[in-house]
Amino acid sequence: MRSVSITNCRKLFLFCLLISAQYNLVSAQENSPYSRYGLGDLIPGQNIVNRAAGGTSVAYYDPVTVNFANPASYARLKYTTFDVGLDYTGRNLKTTSPVRTYNSGYLIPSYIQVGFPLAKKHNWGMNIGIRPVSRISYQLQQNTRLPGIDSIQTKYRGDGGMYQTYIGTGFGSKHFTVGINAGYAFGNKNYVTERMMLNDTVYYEKGKWSDSTHFGGLFLQTGVQYSTHLRKDILLKLGASAQFKNSLSATRTISRETFEYSSTSGETPKDSVYFSPKDNGKIITPSSYGFGFSLEKELTWSISAEYNITNWKEYRYFDQGDEVKNTWLFRVGAGVIPNYKSNKYWGQVQYRAGFYIGPDYVTINKNLPMYAFTFGASLPVRKYGYSLYSGQYTTINTSFEIGARGNKNNSLRESFYRISIGLSLSDIWFIKRTYQ
C-alpha cells in the first residue's frame, strides 16, 4: 500500500483554477472559484438606491434613505425608515484551457435595517442593521496524470462568508455632519481538498484535507459629510468615509485523513493522520477609504462621483497573507425625476444609472480588471407630495448590475449580473398625543 500527500494545497488549487479543467456544478447554486481567496466574493456595500447609481454613496443623503455606507448621513433622517433588500446574482464562467462555459446563481438577503431621527431640529439620527459582507462558495474538479499512475482526481470545495451587525449614529449642523458605525463582524471559512488516485493495478489511499475556521470581533467605521448651496436650487454635497483595519479572533479546526467512498454510503473516514480541534489565531480585515461628491437640483436631477481604496495587503489569515493586493474603484452615477409635481405616476419615479471600474482585489499571477454598468429606479407606492404631507413614504427600490471580472488575458473570466429589489417604509413615529 502506498499513499501520496499534498505539501502545498494553495499551489495545487492555483494550478487547478488556472487550467480549470472541469467543474462540478449544481444547478442554481453559486460557484465562484475566485471566492477561495481573501474573505471571498465581496457583496456590494451600499443600499439598493445607491447601487443603481454606480454605487456612489459617500456623499449621498436624503430624509427617507438609510445610507449605511456613510454613517454621517444618519443625521439627515427625518422619518423612521425600515429598509430591507434582496439580491439575485447570476455568474457565467468562461475558461480558455480547455474552452468551456459554466453558469451558476444564488439568492441572498442584502440587508435589513431601521433608521430613525433622534432629534430632527438638531440633525441627529441613528441606525440599526445587519448585512452580509462576503461569500465563499466554489466547487472544482481537476484530472491530471503522473508517470506510473493512470490519473489523479483532485476536488476543491469551499463555503462560508462574513457578516456585520451594527449600530450607528450621525449628528451635526446645517452644513456639516459626522457619524460612526460600530458593531460585530463574524463568519466562517470552510475549505476541503480531496485527492484520489485512479489506478487499476495499484491501490492508493484517498486523502482529505479540511480547514474550518470560525471568527468574530468588533469593527468601526466613520464618515463625514458637508453640503452647501452653490445657487438657490443647486446643492453641492461632499463626503468621506473610513473603515478601519480590524483584528478578529478566530478558531481553526484542521483535519488530515484518509477515507473510503461508495455510492451507497458516501464518504467514510478511515484513518486520521492529523487533527487539531482548536487552533486559535487572528484574521486581519483591511482598512478602506472613500471620497466623493454629489451635485444636485432637489427633486429633479443629480450627478455624483467617488473614489474608493482598500488596503488588502493588510489582510492576514493566521499570520499568513493571500493572493490579494491593494485596490481602487472609481464610481460615477446620475439620477433624475422627470416631474415630481406631475399627476402621472411615471413622472414621479426616480431613475438612476451609473458605472464603476477598477481592479479586483484577487490577483493570481495576472490582474483581474473589474467593471459594471448599473441602472434602476425607486418606485413610489404613494404619490410623492401626498406621502410627505401625510408623513408616510413607501418605495420599491430596484437595481440592475451587469459586469465582468477578468478579460481575454485571464484563463478564467467571470461575467455576472445582479438583480436587487428592496422595500423602504418611512413614517413619522414617536408623535406626542394631542388629544387624550
Instruction: Please give the share of the chain, as a percent, with pLDDT higher than 70.
Output: 85
Distances from the Cα of 203 to the Cα of 1, 262, 397, angstroms? 6, 15, 59
Output the CA angle 217-307-351, nearest 5 degrees. 100
Quick: pLDDT tens for 91-147: 998 877 777 788 888 899 999 999 999 997 889 999 999 999 999 998 888 777 776
Strand partners, 351: 336, 377
Q: Across the chain, what does the average pLDDT equal? A: 86
CB 115 within 8 A of CB 145: no
Q: Does the structure show a pLDDT above 50 at 19?
A: no
CA 170 – CA 72 distance, rounded (Å): 5
Q: According to the model, what pLDDT value does residue 318 have?
A: 94
Which residue did the predictor score with more confidence, 273 or 87?
87
| Cell numbers standing for residue 398 | 430596484
Domain boundaries 9-427, corresponding CATH code: 2.40.160.60
- On the question of pLDDT at 28 being above 80, the answer is no
> Does residue 219 come out as left (phi exceeding 0), alpha (psi in the -120 to 50 range) or beta?
beta
- The whole-angstrom separation of Cα 76 and Cα 239 is 13
Per-residue pLDDT, 15: 37
DSSP string for residues in 360-423: -SB-BSB--EEEEEEEEEEEESS-HHHHHHHT-EEEEEEEEEEEEE--TTSSEEEEEEEEEEEE
Strands 266-285 and 80-96: unpaired
The pLDDT value given to residue 12: 37
User: Which pTM value belongs to this model?
Assistant: 0.87
Q: Measure the CA–CA gap between 37 and 166, rounded to whole angstroms.
A: 25
Q: What is the identity of the amino acid at 279?
A: D
Helical H runs in 178-330?
Answer: none
Q: Tell the burial category of 374 from Cβ atoms under 10 Å away from its Cβ (0-12, 13-18, 19+).
A: buried
pLDDT > 80? residue 14:
no
The residues near 418 (Cβ < 8 Å, ≥ 6 apart) are 44, 87, 88, 89, 90, 399, 400, 401
Residue 305 vs residue 411, higher pLDDT: 305
* 433 pLDDT above the threshold of 60: no
Whole-angstrom distance, CA of residue 41 vs CA of residue 33: 9
Higher pLDDT, 410 or 252: 252
- Phi/psi zone of residue 391: left (φ > 0), alpha (ψ -120 to 50 degrees), beta? left
Q: What is the pLDDT of residue 391?
A: 60
Q: Does residue 117 have a cis peptide bond before it, meaning omega lies within 30 degrees of 0?
A: no
Rounded CA gap, 416 and 94, in Å? 11
Q: Which amino acid is at 353?
A: A
